[in-house]
Structure formats: structure tokens, C-alpha cells
Amino acid sequence: MNNYGDLPRKNLVYETSKVVIVPIPYDKTSTWIKGANKGPDAIIQASANMELYDIETDSEILSLIKVAAKWFA
């Protein structure tokens, strides 16, 4: 998986996105234990477990999610 939420391509359109997630690994200011640069990849990997069903509205929210894939390989 290399995109947020492991979403289908139709949900990865930059022009229609309301939120753009830019995974920038940055570890320059760490003074003790390095590893913050692995955070963006960890968030993208964990997002595959995101629940797309909303129990309160009894609906799938996948059609509402639009995330830009411009920076994802």
C-alpha cells in the first residue's frame, strides 16, 4: 500500500480533494532518539485499517473521502 487509507484511485484526485496529506519525513530537530522521519510512512500504513462505515449515519463514508495522491508513489 502506498496511499492514505488504501483508497481506490477514484478517491485520489488532487483537484477534488478537500484535504491534502503531504508525507514529509523530518528528523532534523531530534536530539536524542531518531525516528520521527518514519512517522509519515507509519501513518499511511496504519490508515489501511481505517473504518469506512459510520455507525451513527448507517452509511459508508468512502464516497465522501477524497485525498490527493500527487505525492504518493
Q: What is the pLDDT of residues 11-52, one digit of tens each?
A: 777 787 777 777 788 888 878 888 888 888 888 888 889 888
Asked if residue 71 is part of any domain, the answer here is no
Asked if residue 28 is part of any domain, the answer here is yes
Tell me which residue range forms the domain holding 46.
4-64
Residue 62 has φ and ψ, to the nearest 5°, of -55, -40
Distance of CA 8 to the CA centre of its chain: 12
pLDDT at 73 over 60: no
The reported pLDDT for the residue numbered 1 is: 60
The reported pLDDT for the residue numbered 43 is: 85
Which 3 state secondary structure label does DSSP give 69?
A: coil
Which 3 state secondary structure label does DSSP give 14?
A: helix
Asked if residue 27 is part of any domain, the answer here is yes
Number of separate domains in the chain: 1
The reported pLDDT for the residue numbered 69 is: 54
Asked if residue 73 is part of any domain, the answer here is no
